[in-house]
Amino acid sequence: MHLASGNGRLMIGGIRFDQNQTYASAWSPKASMLYKINKQHRIRLSIGQGFKAPDFRQLYLNFTNAAAGSYSVFGTAQAQKVIGQLNSLGQIGTLYNNYYQLKALQPEYATGTHLTWEFEPNAKSFYSFQLFRNDIRNLIEVQQVGAYVTGAQIYSYLNIGRAFTTGLEIEAKHQLTKQFSISAAYQYLETGDKDQLAQIKNGTVYTRDANGLSRKLNVSEYVGLPNNSSHKAQLKFNYSNQNGLFGNIRALYRSKWAVNNTNGNEVYDAGDSFAKGYVALHLSIGKDYTNGIGFQFGCDNMLNYIDALNLPNLPGRTFFATLKIQKSKKI
Amino acid sequence: MRQIVKPFLLLLALSSILFSCTKDEATVALPVTAITVSNLPADTVLGINAVTGMPFSAGKYTFYSLEKNAIVPNTDSASTKWDLAFAGSKILTNGGTSGIGLGGAFIYTGLFDDVKTISNDSVFKTDNAPASFAVTFGSGKGWYVYDQLTSLITPLAGRVLVIRTASGKYAKVEIINYYKGGVTLPITASDSDKLSKQRYYTFRYAYQPNGSKTF
């Protein structure tokens, strides 16, 4: 939907409606604005609502882990029925209050605002600065809803949280010569659970001092949602010439992130256990020939950074080589 | 008229100060000092059963007297000599189904130092095995959380066990740690360390010997 334009201003609005038989329907309105100050400067503003539907696992999972204490996870579509049957067989020990709150999962709603300033001083350089804020409602979270007679836990999913993510992103690209270019990106991110923040401000969240004695947690010690790093950066050198030779080296940095809640409260704070920040360096070199044959080799994670506990998907230093043959007929 | 009123007010003020001083001195008990108990074993794991693969222990409680600040022998389990009994993450009070004393407890959410006086409307629960215990048993329900992923027990911060002792006196207890040496093992510790070094309590407590509910 094109609303208005003129004087370098452009406004676009849109709305999406999703309907599904299992979960509630959702509207996703969005509005964005582009304002061209001059040839070099552009301002973008977008405000929109998005949603994430509950996935198959959250709805239909029926899983009991016999290898680890026989705990169970039931998707919300069947949790009350299955647990009710188990209860009539005398297998349920306790049901928590949140068991009675189980109902059809609502999609997660996120309201996002993004303000971007793009600066293109010349044809070789591009810079962009973005401020963003997302407010998430109905965060889907796994929770223990009861226990078997044996004490093994029973989990299901509930819509509970009010969370936010906010921060800034900086991006820069520069063409150094005809062959060499460099690009860099940086993100600063803050996250949090609004309900937990309110509890901390009320003085009802505790932590322990160096001697193990309880004290009140300060807001400044709160780190927000787990698995999120405050700082992320990427630096990339790129080379490519007219003969099809190309190469690039990428450095990715990620600062520490909270992984486990270990200090005896229900929020993630400075006293919990963190995965260490790290740099991963990747290199690749290759050549494409005009006859459709190309090869590439390189090395991922050159610094051989390994953190098997927190980064199972980052293997150690990995060398690779690929050969591709492409045949195409001219039509 | 003014000249008469001023000294009269001063006299009134002075007398009220004097009066309140004498009254306070008469009722305030000596302050109760906090005592720290370290590495109290609580039915520690002795080994792993070769047939079942399950850890085993002696299956015996460690009985403790808050009044004497000492372990009480198991032969005195049917007496009022002990106030608390520890086995694994379970803590008993000497009353109800657990003992012949007047013991009971409730869990207060807040700081140890903030428990200055137990209000008269506070309800002390007593042990009613196996259904319920005065010191609530289970992860996240009482004084600790158990993490499935790491197999570690962490005492919840900001929990005070308010205890009525076997003889009907009052104490407050903060559990500080559950591992040998008073430091929770790192997540990466071996399974055998996680088994053998657990069930060692470090806690601090204040015991009021005069029977009042004020610490």
Q: In chain A, what are the domain boundaries?
A: 1-110+139-159, 176-331
- A172 close to A126: Cβ distance less than 8 angstroms: yes
Position B203 in a domain: yes
Chain A residue closest in CA terms to B145: A264
Q: How confident is the model at residue B3 (pLDDT cuts 50, 70, 90)?
A: very low
Chain A residue closest in CA terms to B144: A264
* Closest-CA distance of chain B to residue A205, Å: 8
- A93 close to A147: Cβ distance less than 8 angstroms: yes
B40 CA to centre of own chain: 13
Q: Give the count of domains, chain B.
A: 1
For A178-194, what is the mean pLDDT? 96
Closest CA to B93 of B132, B131, B135: B135
Give residue A66's pLDDT.
74
What is the rounded average pLDDT for all residues in chain B?
Answer: 87
ipTM: 0.79
Does B138 score more than 60 pLDDT? yes
DSSP for B118-169 reads: --TTPPPB--BTTTB-SS--STTTSSEEEETTTTEEEEPTTEEEEEE-TTS-
Chain A residue closest in CA terms to B109: A204
Q: What is the share, in percent, of chain A residues with pLDDT greater than 70?
A: 93
Give residue A96's pLDDT.
74
The CA distance from B194 to B199, in Å, is 10
Asked if B187 and A309 come within 8 Å (Cβ–Cβ), the reply is yes
* Segment holding B31, helix H or strand E: none
Give residue A254's pLDDT.
96
Q: What is the CA radius of gyration of chain B?
A: 23
Give residue B16's pLDDT.
45
Does B6 score more than 70 pLDDT? no
Task: Name the residue range of residue B134's domain.
Answer: 29-208
Rounded to the nearest 5 degrees, what angle is found at the Cα of B161, between the Cα atoms of B172 and B115? 50
Does A317 score more than 90 pLDDT? yes
Give residue A4's pLDDT.
54
Asked if A205 and B111 come within 8 Å (Cβ–Cβ), the reply is no
Test the A interface: residue of B35, B132, B154 with most A CBs within 10 Å: B154
Q: Kindly report, residue by residue over B90-118, the tens digit of the pLDDT.
A: 999 999 999 999 999 999 999 999 999 99
Q: Taking CB atoms and an 8 Å cutoff, what residues of chain B touch A221? A: none
The CA distance from B196 to B205, in Å, is 26
Test the B interface: residue of A153, A214, A265, A274 with most B CBs within 10 Å: A214
Position B196 in a domain: yes
Asked if B149 and A260 come within 8 Å (Cβ–Cβ), the reply is yes
Does B23 score more than 60 pLDDT? no
Does B20 score more than 50 pLDDT? no
The CA distance from B108 to B157, in Å, is 11
Position B8 in a domain: no
Asked if A263 and B157 come within 8 Å (Cβ–Cβ), the reply is yes
Chain B residue closest in CA terms to A309: B188
* Segment holding A60, helix H or strand E: helix A56-60
Position B57 in a domain: yes
Asked if B157 and A261 come within 8 Å (Cβ–Cβ), the reply is no
Q: How confident is the model at residue A56 (pLDDT cuts 50, 70, 90)?
A: confident
Asked if B184 and A69 come within 8 Å (Cβ–Cβ), the reply is no
**Which H, E and C letters describe B34-57, residue by residue?**
CEEEEEEECCCEEEECCCCCCEEE
Test the B interface: residue of A208, A265, A267 with most B CBs within 10 Å: A208
* Closest-CA distance of chain B to residue A260, Å: 9
Does B12 score more than 80 pLDDT? no
Asked if A264 and B109 come within 8 Å (Cβ–Cβ), the reply is no
CA distances from residue A133 to A12, A31, A93, A187 in whole angstroms, order as listed: 20, 15, 43, 13
Give residue B104's pLDDT.
97
For A113-125, what is the mean pLDDT? 96
Closest CA to A228 of A187, A172, A185: A187
Q: How confident is the model at residue B5 (pLDDT cuts 50, 70, 90)?
A: very low
